[in-house]
Amino acid sequence: MGRTVTRAQLSEAVYQEVGLSRNESADLVEAVLKEISDDLIVGNTVKLSSFGSFSVREKGGRMGRNPKTGEEVPIKPRRVLVFRPSHVLKEQINVSLSDLKAAGSLPDGVVLDTDES
Partner 1 sequence: MIKSELVAKLAQANPHLYQRDVERIVSTIFDEICTALARGDRVELRGFGAFSVKNRPARVGRNPRTGQPVEVAEKFVPFFKTGKELRERLNAEPGTAPDAGQTTPETAPSPSGFGGSDV
Beta bridge partners of 78: 59
Instruction: Using CB under 8 A, pick the residue from 21, 90, 103, 104 that binds partner 1.
Output: 90
Report the distance separating Cα 94 and Cα 102, nearest Å: 12
Report the distance separating Cα 26 and Cα 12, nearest Å: 8
Report the distance separating Cα 50 and Cα 84, nearest Å: 11
Report the distance separating Cα 32 and Cα 84, nearest Å: 18
E strand or H helix that includes residue 72: strand 72-75
8 binds partner 1 (CB under 8 A): no
| Residue 60 or 76 having the CB closest to partner 1 | 76
Q: How far is the CB of 61 from partner 1 (least distance, A)?
A: 11
13 binds partner 1 (CB under 8 A): yes
- Interface residues with partner 1 (CB under 8 A)? 2-7, 9-10, 13-14, 17-18, 20, 25, 28-29, 31-33, 35-37, 39-41, 44-52, 54, 56, 66-68, 73-76, 78-81, 83, 85, 89-90, 92-94, 96-98, 100, 106-107, 110-115
